[in-house]
Structure 1
Amino acid sequence: MKVVVLRDRGSTLAVVFILIFMVAFMAPLIYMFLSAAGGTLFLMLFIAFALLIFGGGLYGVIRVRSASKKAEAFFSAAEFSDSAVSIPGEMDFEVGVLEMRGWWSGGKNRTYHVSRKFTAERMSRGPRIPFIDGEFKAAVYSDGTGFIRAPAVRVLSEPYRDVVLLFLTSKGRVEGEGTVTVSTQEDSAQVSFRGDGKLIRGSVYSTLTKARRVKVALTTEGFSFEKILGAGTSFEFSTLMLPEESTVVVGNYKTVSPRSLAGSLGGETLIMGHGEFTLRAILDIRLRPDVKAEEPFRVEMETGEVEESGENEFQEGWGF
């Protein structure tokens, strides 16, 4: 089992910059306050407002660093095996599903936003958390725009309160096969694909006159971006739709985001999981809009003794 810790400490450079700028900005104001004969009330209000702004920025960075340290402390204390996560002593935790969505707003000075929703299905207490082999889905662009939905555990007890574990199982298989044909009067391309275990793989054959190349892309419902799997005239492509090995992601509920998760798993556009996905064939034509055609395929969760035993372990171990 692979373990990933989200170490989002915030920028040390940002802390230093805020402190230096605050000192440089406040020193003249304090001097004016001490030497001014009048207008001291206005200066006091202005200084208080400036301290509030700088203090808010500093608090935000410190909060991120503190949350990251709590997740790292949990990782250091826990023991991870292929079937469970164990820590010294007992703790209270919720078992459920974590849904996150990240997006950007603004123009040049953009701001990253995250919405989080943890839906608790049951509460438990104990020193051991069995690995949850449940369906998940992740579609995140390289800048953090996108969504993640995965089985998760949220710790309720100190000193690890709000530490969250996301479970990305490797169990599943890509189902289906087909052909995507995209054409114009001058160009045509045929993309054949099939499921091969955890992989979606295929080949491209084309006859191009005006089009520069054919691109094969992967996307899914609710995601406005694409992951390019290959480009050219005739080529083969493949990509994993599930992790090579089951993965536990350790983070803090207050700071975990699609951007931090995708960054920890390679930093590129991330599309994987269970459910329905779309394979898209694209004719890249110079000075004209792209011509597209697409076909859906599915990634199905494997069911069997492993899932049943995991469910029974929750029921027997904590009385459910």
Structure 2
Amino acid sequence: MATLAFLLECAATAALVGTAVSLLVWPTLLMLRARALQRVPALRADLAFVLGTLPALASVGVVAAAAAPPLAAALGLADDHCLGHGHHVHLCFLHTATVRPVLAAVGAFSLAVFLFRAGDVVLRLLRVRARLSALESLGTPRPGLFPIVAVPGAPRLCHAVGLVRRRILLSASLEEALTQEEVRSALAHEEAHLRRREPLLGLLLGVAGLFAVPFLARACVAAYQTAAEEACDAEAAAAVGDGGLVAGALVKVATLQRRLSNVAGEMPAFGALALERRVRLLLDEEARATSAQALRVAGVMAFAAGLLAVAYTSFLHHAVETALHLLF
């Protein structure tokens, strides 16, 4: 009973922290539409990624800190923390406790929603992996800055994939329909995705979204994807030396594809997203190619959150217990 109560209390705490941080992040996310940020899409992508991961970092950090005292007591590393305060809700799996009905309901609902959304993410990843494996089994690898897997026939596809083993899938049907310069533009765009580690960042952002309010998670993913595509367009234009060439390749590929391919999962394929705006930015040479810092910034934030959680474990534990007592 104590373990179940502890689990439900932790689930409720994570949901409450994630919701609160999501509501704080939402106005900041809207600021990414400011004109001053339009010319630096890489910075916009980084900010969208960081904002999208904040609810997860806060939820995990607070719950981990709140769970640390009973865990330390169970391991014999600290005194029993429950003995000194019997006046409010206990976050503990060592002692039998009666969880408050409303708190139990919130925790159970939050846990069920989290598991449902997590299951959806896992299923989509498994489907994508199966499709990629099927395509690559038919393909022929080519050497390059990043390996290129030439896939025979349809669908018309040029896409960066791989969390660790980074590579580009290029269908023969698309390659035959493009000129050499257009193929070079498309590959330069996908190489930029791989340099920026965007398959990995997209997965991390999707997992982090499980801790955020759904509408914010979707908004962060959409803002990140759009800004990342524009950033890679700018890098491709710098690589080939002609933004107009990249813009022409975008329009041609979008026309050939006709509809968004879902073969490679969350990140849209070349030519598939916000076409009109991206073409305008390329032709007007408004977007600047800059380096991506999202993974570094998120890593620093996670490290800082971990340090704060360790330094203020006792305070956060009692703060969470007091907040749950007052709310429920």
Look at both structures and tell me which one has the larger radius of gyration over its CA atoms. 1
TM-score interval (norm. to shorter): under 0.3
Structure number with higher strand proportion: 1
Structure number with higher helix proportion: 2
In the superposition, the TM-score normalised over structure 1's length comes to: 0.25
In the superposition, the TM-score normalised over structure 2's length comes to: 0.24
Q: Bigger relative contact order, structure 1 or 2, given CA contacts below 8 A and separation 6+?
A: 2
